[in-house]
């Protein structure tokens, strides 16, 4: 794939890193599911970001959040290369001026990269 992604390598968060963050109650990132796959512990659902109305709902959800807030988005419905949700959502965060936003690196899907590893779900 030669297509430029809206995130850089430093904006990908490994699942084990998020699992460690979730184990520390002093850290409270905003975790948003932008797909149909299920809710990681502490995540809120924004519904599939490929749909224009859901993307607008995500924008409204983020309007009053500080631009320095740690925001982690994920989908996990399918491999990254095929996912219709992560690119519109990450692009929106870029456009809104967030500075500490990450994409959870679920390169295969939520089941393989998160659930099968025993990481916490809601």
Q: Which residues contact 78 (CB under 8 A, 6 or more apart)?
A: 109
Based on the structure, what is the number of domains in the chain?
1
Does 82 fall in a domain? yes
Structural Rg of the chain based on CA atoms: 13
Does 50 fall in a domain? yes
* pTM of the full structure: 0.94
Does 89 fall in a domain? yes
Task: Domain of residue 112: give its range.
Answer: 10-117
Helix H or strand E segment including 33 = strand 30-33
Asked if residues 38 and 110 have their Cβ atoms less than 8 Å apart, the reply is yes
pLDDT tens digits, 2-48 = 478 999 999 999 999 999 999 988 888 999 999 998 999 999 999 99
Does 14 fall in a domain? yes
pLDDT tens digits, 67-110 = 999 999 999 999 989 999 999 999 999 999 999 999 999 999 99
64: CATH: 3.40.250.10
């Amino acid at each position: 794939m030669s297509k430029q992604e809206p995130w850089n390598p430093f904006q990908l968060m490994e699942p084990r890193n998020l699992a460690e963050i979730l184990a520390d109650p002093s850290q409270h990132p905003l975790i948003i599911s932008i797909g149909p796959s299920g809710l990681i512990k502490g995540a809120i659902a924004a519904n599939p970001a490929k749909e224009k109305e859901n993307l607008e709902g995500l924008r409204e959800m983020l309007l009053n959040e500080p631009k320095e807030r740690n925001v982690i988005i994920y989908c996990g419905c399918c491999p990254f290369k095929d996912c219709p949700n992560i690119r519109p959502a990450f692009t929106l965060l870029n456009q809104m001026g967030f500075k500490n936003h990450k994409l959870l690196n679920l390169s295969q899907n939520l089941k393989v990269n998160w659930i099968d590893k025993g990481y916490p779900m809601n």
